[in-house]
Amino acid sequence: MAWERSSRGPTDASGKVADLNFRFAFRLVDRLRAPFRLSSTPPSPPLHSTPPQESMPKVDTKSGDTETSFTVSNQGEIKKLITTLIGRGNGKDVKDLTITFSTADHQEKSKRGEQIAELLKRTPNLTTLNLNFSGHLDTYSDCLGEKLMTALCSLKNLENFSHNATTSARTDFGQYSLMKLVSSWPNLRTLYLAGDTNGSEDCSKIPPATCALESVTFERCMSNFEKLAPMFAGSANSLKSFEAWTMGIKEIDAVLRKVLPSIESIHIGGCNHPSKDFILGELSNVPRLQFINLNGDTDTGGTTRKAFAEALNREDSFPSLRRLSYPGEKGTYKTGRGRNVRVHEYENVGAKELETAAKKRGVWAELVSRDLECKVEGAQRRAGFAAMGRRGYW
């Protein structure tokens, strides 16, 4: 019996398909590219004609075949990416970079800052930088370090910068570092900072910021508003959104005053509120302001609530306002003992007057108290700090 190939499998001389089991075996052998063949067709190349490539950092291709976006998550990947960029000749085409450390470095002198600085030297045209870490990248007293600060300041095309916390460890980003960076980035548009903005350094010698910021968010903003105000020097006609979870009780007028012509949304968490005079004389005249959210449960004597109620009773105030969330205390509290226990609802002085005035103007007004945090990640970290305090860690 002579065998020959057919699309249906092997056949005999009469053209009938041979045994079914043999046909399946024939096709399996053919698929696995066995070294023997029943025809004169030359053998196909092996499945792996080249050795597997070494795994590289995650890459997003955004324009053609040019790699413009990289994400690295540890020191080993940073070294690997530096080697990759050296092999390509340069990293001038890299536009988007995300660096994340999931743990805090407890060494007094961390090597992370210098490694990041070496990487940033090879990516001078970055437009977006996400730097996610907790703790420090250099030393406890200098979070970023001189080399990393120099490399960051050299990114003149940067438009978006964010720092997110990755653990509950405190990050003293520092007021001086923040002011110096913003002053060095003329094209910066969005800023998100999870680290503390504390510091007593003299920032008067730092050149005024020229960038036109559009959105700014602070997770832990210290009450040094007068010192932070210069970073908004070039943003009077551009800033649309300002969010801050503040740490203190000072009035926040100094920061807001710089951006009144363009601001559309203000979200303040904590106990820092605008002053009565600022609300009545300046904030109520802002042309584009649509959303005001003042979180917290501290409004001594209802000063803030009364000021907003008085302002809303003027027909020409808040021309664009749509929603107002005001501070106060929610729920109930108890007095007395035993059978004399009484349950009372919190009374927020000025709240009823505020809601009545807002209703007449078509503005949605609501009490937010502690229910609304500035950012979820910030709320989680603050809960962690509170738990550590209860356990006696400090």
Structure tokens at 114: 């210098």
The average pLDDT across 365-391 equals: 60
pLDDT at 34: 40
pLDDT at residue 246 in the model: 83
The alpha carbon torsion through 21, 25, 26, 29 (nearest 10 deg) reads 180
Q: Domain segments of the chain: what residues?
A: 1-46, 57-171
Q: What is the mean pLDDT of the chain?
A: 81
Choose the weakest-confidence range: 25-29, 55-59, 245-249, 354-358. 25-29
pLDDT at residue 59 in the model: 46
Which structure tokens are listed for 139? 């030393």
Q: How many angstroms separate the CA atoms of 213 and 190, rounded?
A: 6
Among 286, 338, 340, 336, CA closest to 311: 286
- Joined tokens for residue 272: 């820092």
**CA atoms of 159 and 181, how far apart (whole Å):** 12
Per-residue pLDDT of 163-178, as tens digits, reads: 999 988 889 898 999 9
- Which residues, 6+ apart, have CB-to-CB distance to 373 below 8 Å? 245, 269, 295, 379, 382
**Which residues are paired to 128 by β-bridges?**
96, 160
Question: What are residue 221's DSSP bridge partners?
Answer: 246
Whether the predicted pLDDT of 19 surpasses 70: no
Q: What is the reported pTM?
A: 0.76
The pLDDT assigned to 386 comes to 61
In a 10 Å sphere around its CB, with 0-12 CB exposed, 13-18 middle and 19+ buried, how is residue 74 labelled?
Answer: middle
Would you place residue 1 in the very low, low, confident or very high pLDDT band (cuts 50, 70, 90)? very low
pLDDT band at 100 (very low <50, low <70, confident <90, very high): very high
Q: End-to-end CA distance of the chain, in Å?
A: 91
pLDDT at 249 over 60: yes
Q: Is the pLDDT of residue 216 over 70?
A: yes
For residue range 41-65, what is the model confidence (pLDDT) as tens digits?
444 444 444 444 444 455 444 433 3
pLDDT band at residue 203 using 50, 70 and 90 as cut-offs: confident
Q: Do the beta carbons of residue 156 and residue 183 sit within 8 Å?
A: no
299-353 per-position pLDDT tens digit: 878 999 999 999 999 999 999 999 999 988 888 889 998 889 999 988 889 999 9
Question: Judging by DSSP bridges, how do beta strands 96-100 and 160-164 pair with one another?
Answer: unpaired
**pLDDT band, very low/low/confident/very high, at 145 (cuts 50, 70, 90):** very high
In contact, 202 and 228? CB cutoff 8 Å: no
Indicate the helix (H) or strand (E) that contains 66: strand 66-72
Digit-coded pLDDT (tens) for 62-91: 433 347 899 999 999 999 999 999 988 788
Average pLDDT over residues 222-250: 88
d(C-alpha 244, C-alpha 90), whole Å: 38
Measuring CA to CA, which residue among 77, 135, 85, 74 is closest to residue 108? 135
Radius of gyration of the chain (CA): 31
